[in-house]
């Protein structure tokens, strides 16, 4: 294990009754969906526990559903030092709730429960890469072409930018306490998702225009977004295509099953 002085926040909420995996499996929450015989929650938290003895482990998720359906898993999480925080109405709000209960002034790794293919190699590459940058927040990405080459059956959109097309990886590193202000800023933006003009106003018309014209690079886009919150925001491109595979639908679940089976 790595002594990193690192807090970890995992978002384990879902989309309520509209969640595709809940409807597909009939389970009370996404965290309990089984991948290769193990709940998503167990897979993600085990990868994090194996990687580093985090100073704090925060799970923002459906504690009541877990206690009823998986009491043994709940006891394991408690034994390993995971603290439960109630989920909020949106991912950004849940992220703020989780980050704000972290008491130490060192880095925070933020990820999600559907990052079920997370492993120590991905975590080591991301944390090392993130800490090497002079940024308040580092966001993980993978190259779209690499993901589609490795998993052509995967359905991914990706951000088409001047320096290529990129997929998000649900990995975020917050280097200091002030970085949470950007998450709060995004929470405000998220509240206006049904009002596109308000989102344009938030990210800046010039940045949006450069994106539409194909003149915006990944680094410049994140830099511009960070400046809106007075912070330094930077990308880190991971080498492993599997870092971009999240389990968000029945098709994603089948793909993840095949990936794990082929690696066994």
**Residue range 38-82, pLDDT digits in tens:** 999 999 999 999 987 667 899 998 766 777 778 888 889 989 999
**Is residue 202 pLDDT above 70, yes or no?**
no
Within 10 A of 101 (CB to CB), how many other CB atoms are there? 13
On average, the pLDDT of the chain sits at 85
Confidence at residue 211, expressed as pLDDT on a 0 to 100 scale:
82
Cα–Cα dist 16/28, whole Å: 9
Query: Which pairing describes strands 159-161 and 164-174: parallel, antiparallel, or unpaired?
Result: antiparallel
Instruction: Tell the burial category of 53 from Cβ atoms under 10 Å away from its Cβ (0-12, 13-18, 19+).
Output: middle
- Please, are residues 256 and 117 in contact by the beta-carbon 8 Å criterion? yes
H or E element at residue 145: helix 144-150
Determine which of 31-45, 115-129, 219-233 has the lowest per-residue pLDDT on average: 219-233
What pTM value is reported for the model? 0.90
Contacts of 24 (CB under 8 A, 6+ apart): 249, 250, 253
In terms of pLDDT, which residue wins out, 91 or 188?
91
Residue 136 scores a pLDDT above 90: yes
pLDDT above 50 (res 102): yes
Map residue 211 onto helix, strand or coil: helix
* Whether pLDDT at 37 is above 80: yes
- For residue 236, give the DSSP letter: E
pLDDT at 57: 92
Instruction: Indicate the pLDDT class of residue 123, thresholds 50, 70 and 90.
Output: very high
Distance CA 42, CA 10 (A): 12
d(Cα 118, Cα 113) in Å, to the nearest integer? Answer: 10
Query: Domains, the chain, ranges and CATH?
Result: 7-258 (3.90.550.10)
pLDDT band at residue 15, thresholds of 50, 70 and 90?
A: low
Taking only the tens place, the pLDDT of each residue in 248-263 is 889 999 999 999 988 7
Which pLDDT belongs to residue 2?
A: 45
Q: Which pLDDT score is estimated for 1?
A: 41
* Per-residue pLDDT, 3: 47
């Amino acid at each position: 294990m790595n002594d990193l002085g690192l807090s970890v926040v995992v978002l384990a909420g879902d989309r309520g009754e509209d969640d595709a995996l809940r409807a597909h499996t009939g389970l009370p929450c996404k965290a309990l969906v089984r991948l290769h015989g193990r709940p998503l929650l167990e897979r993600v938290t085990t990868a994090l526990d194996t990687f580093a003895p985090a100073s704090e482990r925060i799970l923002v998720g459906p504690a009541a559903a877990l206690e009823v359906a998986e009491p043994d898993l709940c006891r394991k999480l408690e034994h390993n030092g995971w603290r439960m925080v109630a989920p909020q109405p949106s991912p950004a709000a849940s992220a703020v709730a989780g980050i704000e209960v972290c008491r130490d002034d060192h880095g925070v790794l933020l990820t999600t429960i559907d990052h079920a293919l997370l492993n120590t190699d991905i975590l080591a590459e991301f944390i090392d890469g993130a800490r090497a940058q002079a940024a308040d927040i580092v966001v993980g990405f993978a190259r779209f072409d690499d993901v589609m080459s490795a998993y052509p059956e995967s359905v991914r959109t990706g951000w088409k930018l001047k320096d290529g097309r990129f997929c998000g990886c649900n990995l975020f590193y917050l280097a200091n306490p002030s970085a949470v202000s950007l998450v709060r800023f995004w929470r405000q933006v998220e509240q206006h998702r049904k009002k596109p003009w308000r989102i344009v106003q938030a990210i800046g018309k010039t940045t949006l225009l450069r994106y539409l014209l194909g003149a915006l690079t990944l680094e410049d886009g994140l830099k511009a977004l960070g400046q809106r919150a007075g912070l330094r925001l930077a990308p880190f491109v991971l080498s492993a295509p599997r870092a971009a595979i999240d389990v968000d639908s029945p098709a994603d679940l089948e793909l993840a099953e095949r990936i794990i089976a082929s690696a066994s």
